[in-house]
Amino acid sequence: MASSPRAILALTLVLGTLALWYVITTPAIAADKLIVYSGRAERLIKPVLDEFQSKSGIQIELLSSGTTELVNRLKAEGDHTPADVFLTNDAGSLEHARELKLLRPMNMREVERAIPPQFRAPDNSWIGLSGRFWIVVYNTKLVKPDQITSLLDLAQPQWKDKLAIPNSGSEYLQAGVSVIKATFGDERTKQFLQGLKTNAGTQVYQKSSQIVEAVAKGQVAVGLVNHYYIYRHLAAQPSAPIAALMTDQQEGGMGAIMNVAGIGVTRASKHVESAKLLIEFLVAQAGQKLFADLDKEYPLHPDVKADPALIDRHSFRAALVPLARLAELREPTLTLIEQVGLR
């Protein structure tokens, strides 16, 4: 015991040396690795990356985090970023990263053949990988599907205390509101948000999976989520009383709100060739199937079929707001959201 302070000192010095060694050697280790910053839930991306790793022999290091947080991080790290690839679930964030010149324009024939142009940046600095729709999940015991024809219906007083929504930091919510704003203008969007706020009360969730859970348990009657959360829940609990509702399909209506998950290579990446291999893997038919099925999303490759459990992609229309516009719409949308005081 008598030498404990010195033991602590010695321990600290030893650990400090180790830490220094760690810091110094990290870039060296990274030489044959591909570092992926991912805003997609870890268990929805890791199996795909593992598959790529075992096929290509390229080792992948994954950092899972929030999408906006990662864009902030990329911005802060600038040229020093260790990241080679940025993969996330929101086209608006990808486009924003492109505008900040964080991503690298890519010239890839395979990509242009596989992914239709409306789902990627003009210079391919980001490439969509799968489609996702912002829709209504409802409890089949509490709600008749014909009670809701448009997302805007959710703001009506009859849904007071019966609605669950994601919090305002959610990129899906921001993208969804951006589309509504572009379609209906500020005034109606504001009314819509006001209604959401009143109707949801304290039912504001960090994760969409929690919203689906709340609807399945009857805690609330309806919720706003991305479509795949419903199917993911149903896959685990087939008897859950929930269903997906595709809104705004009437003649001249807005259409369903679509977003894509996508990928981009960072401007600072030193492993562009490996990154290209990963993208080729993901846009090829097998990769598309794997990537989309894991999360019950819609593949963007026209020849790849979606999971049969999903609503047939040809049976509904998507909103006409181009994905790349989501980035420029985001700040004004956030201002609206904050003016209303959504959590």
Partner 1 sequence: MVTATRFNAPSPLQWVSVITAVFLLLPTCYIIYVALTATPASWSRLWSTRIPELLWNTLSLATSVALITFILGLSLAWIMVRYDFPGRRIWEWALVFPLAMPTYVLAYVYAHLFGMGGPAEQWWQALMGPEARLVSPQSFTGVTMVMALDTFPFVYLLARSALLNLNVSFEEVARACGMSPWITLRRITLPLIRPAIAAGLALVILYVISDFGAVSLLRYQTLTYAVYQQMTGRYDQTAAGILSLLLVVMAIVFLVTERWFRRRSRFYQTSGRYRTSTRHRGGALKTALIMTYVVLIFGAAFGIPAAMLIYWSVAAISQGALDARFFGFVWNSSFLSALAAGGAVLIGLPLAYLASRRPSRLNIACLQAAYAGYALPGPVAALAVLVLFTHFAPVLYGSIVVLLVAYVLHFLPVGLQSMEPALQQVTPNVEEVARTLGCTTRRMLRRVTLPLIQNGFIAAWVLMFLQIMKELPATLLLRPVGFDTLAIRVWLEASEEYYQLAAPSALLIVLLSLPALMLLVSKDWRGRHQEVVT
To the nearest whole angstrom, how small is the minimum distance from the Cβ of residue 156 to partner 1?
23
d(CA 298, CA 275): 23
d(CA 179, CA 234): 28
**Cβ closer to partner 1: 23 or 31?**
23
Show the binding pattern over residues 178-217: x = contacts partner 1 (CB under 8 A), - = does not: ------------------------x-xxxx-xx--xx--x
Written as six digits, the tokens of 75 are 């911005």
Query: Is 5 a binder of partner 1 (CB under 8 A)?
Result: yes
Q: Determine the 3-state secondary structure of 87 from DSSP.
A: strand
Query: Is 9 a binder of partner 1 (CB under 8 A)?
Result: yes
Which is it for the CA torsion 202, 163, 150, 93, positive or negative?
positive
Which is it for the CA torsion 225, 228, 229, 234, positive or negative?
positive
**Cβ closer to partner 1: 46 or 301?**
46
d(CA 165, CA 174): 12
Q: How many CB atoms lie within 10 A of CB 160?
A: 12
End-to-end CA distance of the chain: 53
To the nearest whole angstrom, how small is the minimum distance from the Cβ of residue 198 to partner 1?
14
To the nearest whole angstrom, how small is the minimum distance from the Cβ of residue 73 to partner 1?
8
**Cβ closer to partner 1: 61 or 293?**
61
Query: Is 66 a binder of partner 1 (CB under 8 A)?
Result: yes
Query: Is 341 a binder of partner 1 (CB under 8 A)?
Result: yes
d(CA 258, CA 172): 10
Query: Is 219 a binder of partner 1 (CB under 8 A)?
Result: yes
**Cβ closer to partner 1: 10 or 309?**
10
d(CA 171, CA 184): 20
Angle between helices 186-200 and 325-340 (to 10 degrees): 60
Query: Is 76 a binder of partner 1 (CB under 8 A)?
Result: yes
**Cβ closer to partner 1: 31 or 107?**
31
Which residues in 105-164 contact partner 1 (CB under 8 A)? Answer: none
Which residues in 77-106 contact partner 1 (CB under 8 A)? Answer: 77-78, 80-83, 96
Query: Is 21 a binder of partner 1 (CB under 8 A)?
Result: no
Instruction: Decide if 55 contacts 106 (C-beta within 8 A).
Output: no
Query: Is 25 a binder of partner 1 (CB under 8 A)?
Result: no
To the nearest whole angstrom, how small is the minimum distance from the Cβ of residue 69 to partner 1?
4
**Judged by CB under 8 A, which stretch of 10-18, 183-191, 272-280, 299-307 contacts partner 1?**
10-18
**Which contacts qualify for 64-69: CB closer than 8 Å, 24 or more apart?**
64/38, 64/39, 64/40, 65/37, 65/38, 65/39, 66/39, 66/169, 67/39, 67/93, 67/171, 68/93, 68/169, 68/171, 69/39
Residue in 45, 48, 71, 111 binding partner 1, rule: CB under 8 A: 71
Q: List the one residue out of 104, 62, 99, 59 whose CA is nearest residue 79.
A: 104
d(CA 118, CA 331): 22
Query: Is 22 a binder of partner 1 (CB under 8 A)?
Result: yes
Site residues (vs partner 1, CB under 8 A): 1-2, 4-6, 8-9, 11-12, 15-16, 18-19, 22-23, 26, 35, 37, 41-43, 61-66, 68-69, 71-73, 75-78, 80-83, 96, 167-170, 202, 204-207, 209-210, 213-214, 217-219, 331, 334-335, 338-341, 343
